[in-house]
Amino acid sequence: MIAGPDELQRAVEATLFASETPMSVEALAAHLGGAELSEVRIALRELAANYAPHGIHLVERAKRWHFETAPDLAHLLRREREQVRRLSRAATEVLAIIAYHEPVSRAEIESIRGVQTAKGTLDVLLEAGWARVAGRREVPGRPVIYATTPEFLEHFGLDSRRDLPGIDELRATGLLDPVDDAFDALMGPDEDHDGAKEQETASDLKQMDDHQAD
Amino acid sequence: MIAGPDELQRAVEATLFASETPMSVEALAAHLGGAELSEVRIALRELAANYAPHGIHLVERAKRWHFETAPDLAHLLRREREQVRRLSRAATEVLAIIAYHEPVSRAEIESIRGVQTAKGTLDVLLEAGWARVAGRREVPGRPVIYATTPEFLEHFGLDSRRDLPGIDELRATGLLDPVDDAFDALMGPDEDHDGAKEQETASDLKQMDDHQAD
Amino acid sequence: MSELDLMLDGGQAEQQDEWAGAASSQDDDAALYLELDGWEGPLDLLLDLARRQKVDLRSISILALVDQYLTYINRAEALRLELAADYLVMAAWLAYLKSSLLLPREEQEDPSPEELALRLQLRLQRLGAMREAAARLMARDRIGRDVFLRGAPEGLRIDRKTQWQCDWYSLVQGYGQVKARTAPAVHMVRNRPVMTLESALDRVSAMLGVTLDWMRLEEFLPPYAEPRLRRSALASSFVAALELARKGRAELAQDAIFGPLRLRRIPA
């Protein structure tokens, strides 16, 4: 039925390619309309030799043949793609609290932030490699405590945690201004009436700060 | 395979072999960590040429590349269970009209077929992923217009719409133009013709057609 | 399903010439019935009849075609086969076309029957072209029928890894905002130079005692006060004036809105 060995090779090649499972020599021969087993074996061996330098190999495993990716190219099947993402504001705050107060438990972080902290927020910091679990506090409940990592210092260009500016310095640079104030200063006047009113209050407050700073 | 494949060819080969969907040159280059597009193109062309005598072919359809079995081996590979959706005659004609006239509205399809199109007929083509809604025509009623998809070209082994069988001849003979346009073209600019003149035109037309058919 | 369907699905374009449906080869009524089921409308039937003339669609005889169609419909009606309305509409139109074509030219209306016939021919050509195109399309090497994709591709997986970004400023600002948000709020009122209501009352009463003439409110203010103290003094003095008026010790007058406010003692 199949003329020359080349034709048989082509047929074997196409059949194994389209097959959903590896095939034995017998199954191949049957599929090809009763080709000689010995000829199918020869065709397989010649094909395998021809494919050897290729990115695809024809291999026999447990008496069944199939195509697979060349082992040295297996990394192409699983690629890692790096995605750059900015830390959320919540995560940034939690990271800052850990940096300023380490070691610190989640309950302490929440009490400093004044809001609950989602589980995922700490996970992100652990994943980023900036925070680590630094043991447990020996108090009832033995809560996990968190600290920063050397990678944290490296990423933020700090020699040590002491390089972080103190509260007084923060105040001097306006970083202790209430959030609304700082936000309004950045965003310009609000559009709705309530916003404008808030801004008034905030600027009064700012004057007060200026006064105190004198 | 005379000369062994180079590293890029091996990588392209392995990637396309493993991929579950056809890949564009751009997607391949990105997957291979930013290879040069031009080099990927060369690798693809050389691979395709090397595979040409094989039972597996590397083909480009609608700007995307994939491996498939050689068409002449179809008889070996047809499965007992039909993998291909059997289209009704109506669906077949509607698909051809969309492919050769795209983008085309339902009314235009119906004017060619001289019969209303059942709702299900277009749905079958949309569901098969061969036709898509390509927007609306900016005429009164803003009818939806249909076009074919890359999957259509892939399925029917077409590189692009230019490869549609006979499309050049159909275009040249005006058979893709609406009846009104063809009629006006045949009748010339004269609005009212007497019978004798019409006769003349008709025979002119015949000569013209014969000429084109050469 | 009629033979036509089968041919269209698997047939080659070259088979078009043998398009001859069942009707030309078989004369029995059953075939007619089957065919009627297979047509995609009257234009489709006309096209098939035209093909049976075995000539190029550009050379078909419209008159012969009309006759064939009408014969066909008559036969179907004689057999009491149910015909869709559009077949009958087409039959009526074709009968009209035929009679017009046979009329002497002078009596022809506009559009002329030749024009109508030409339009019909053009439509048949277009439908024929698309039917042929469909057959050629279906005859191509189709994935899953003639060519096959890899049966069990490994698939390409892309694992996304996130690289988190944050800078020093955001970190420190974040901390500052936490502290500012949660710090207990302390409000301090600035120490401003003011004139109290008491001192204003004293000052206005004392100055009113000097004269019985009208005096402008501004004249009661301390002359060299700095602007902020002056504003405070103005407000306090105004309230003091109202208080004195209420007690019947002074009267107030203003001639126009926003005009100067004047003040005069009421003798006891």
Which residues between 16 and 55 in chain B have a beta carbon less than 8 angstroms from any beta carbon of chain A?
17-18, 31-32, 53-55
The pLDDT-based confidence of B152 (bands split at 50, 70, 90) is very high
Q: Give pLDDT, residue B82.
A: 52
Helix, strand, coil content of chain A in percent (nearest 5): 55, 15, 30
B74 touches chain A (CB under 8 A): no
CB atoms within 10 A of CB C209: 10
Please give the Cα distance from C138 to B155 (Å, whole number): 10
- Number of helices followed by number of strands (H, E) in chain A: 10, 7
pLDDT tens sequence across A158-199: 888 777 877 677 767 666 555 555 455 555 544 444 433 333
Q: Which residues of B touch A73 (CB under 8 A)?
A: 10-11, 14
| pLDDT of C29 over the 50 cut | yes
Distances (CA, A) of A134 to A108, A110, A122, C55: 14, 18, 13, 92
Burial of A128 (0-12, 13-18, 19+ CB in 10 A): buried
Q: Which residues of A touch C147 (CB under 8 A)?
A: none
Please give the Cα distance from A96 to C249 (Å, whole number): 68
CB A65 within 8 A of CB A22: yes
Average pLDDT value for residue range B190-210: 42
Token duo for residue B32: 């291979």
Token duo for residue B214: 């050469």
Query: What angle (nearest 5°) sits at the alpha carbon of residue B80, between those of residues B75 and B85?
Result: 90
C143 touches chain A (CB under 8 A): no
Please, what is the angle between helix C168-182 and helix A106-113, to 10°?
70
Please give the Cα distance from B208 to A159 (Å, whole number): 88
Q: Give pLDDT, residue B83.
A: 62
| Amino acid, res. A167 | I
pLDDT tens sequence across B93-107: 999 999 999 999 999
Q: Give pLDDT, residue C103.
A: 80
Of the candidates B57, B50, B53, the one whose C-alpha atom is nearest the C-alpha of residue B9 is B50
Of the candidates B104, B96, B108, the one whose C-alpha atom is nearest the C-alpha of residue B161 is B96
Please, what is the angle between helix B7-18 and helix B37-51, to 10°?
80
Q: How far is A62 from chain B (nearest CA, A)?
A: 22
Distances (CA, A) of A52 to A38, A122, B7: 21, 49, 13
Task: Give chains near C: 3+ CB pairs under 8 A.
Answer: A, B
Q: Which residues of A touch C158 (CB under 8 A)?
A: 78-81
DSSP secondary structure string, chain C?
Answer: --HHHHHHHH--GGGGGG---HHHH--SHHHHHHHHHH-SSHHHHHHHHHHTTTS-GGG--HHHHHHHHHHHHHHHHHTT----HHHHHHHHHHHHHHHHHHS-GGG--SS-HHHHHHHHHHHHHHHHHHHHHHHHHHTS--BTTTB---SS----EEEEEEEEE--HHHHHHHHHHHHHHHSPP-----------HHHHHHHHHHHHTT-SS-EEGGGGS-TT--HHHHHHHHHHHHHHHHHHHHTTSEEEEESSTTPPEEEEEPP-
Average pLDDT value for residue range C103-107: 71
Distances (CA, A) of A2 to A7, B56, B78, C253: 6, 17, 16, 125
Q: Give pLDDT, residue B3.
A: 55
C16 touches chain B (CB under 8 A): no
Tens of pLDDT along chain A (214 residues)? Answer: 333 347 999 999 999 999 988 999 999 999 888 889 999 999 999 999 999 999 999 999 888 999 999 989 988 888 777 778 888 889 999 999 998 888 899 988 988 888 888 888 888 899 888 999 999 988 888 999 999 998 888 888 888 877 787 767 776 766 655 555 545 555 554 444 443 333 333 333 333 333 433 3
Q: Percentage of chain B surpassing pLDDT 90? A: 60
| Dihedral class, residue A135 (left if φ above 0, else alpha if ψ from -120 to 50, else beta) | left
Token duo for residue A201: 């209050």
Residue of chain C minimizing CA distance to B30:
C158
Q: Which residues of A touch C157 (CB under 8 A)?
A: 77-79
Radius of gyration, alpha carbons of chain C: 53
Q: Which residues of B touch A15 (CB under 8 A)?
A: 55, 76-77
Span of A108-112, A163-167, B145-149, C197-201 with lowest mean pLDDT: A163-167
B9 touches chain A (CB under 8 A): yes
Please give the Cα distance from A191 to A178 (Å, whole number): 19
Return the H-helix or E-strand segment holding A10.
helix A5-18
Q: Which residues of A touch B56 (CB under 8 A)?
A: 13-14, 17
Q: Give pLDDT, residue B13.
A: 95
Q: Which of C46, C148, C154, C157 to mutate to test the interface with B (most CBs of B within 10 A)?
A: C148
Token duo for residue C151: 């049966």
> With an 8 Å Cβ cutoff, are B13 and A56 in contact?
yes
C58 touches chain A (CB under 8 A): no
Instruction: Report strand pairing: A23-24 vs A64-69.
Output: antiparallel
Predicted ipTM? Answer: 0.64
Residue of chain B minimizing CA distance to C121:
B179
The pLDDT-based confidence of B134 (bands split at 50, 70, 90) is very high
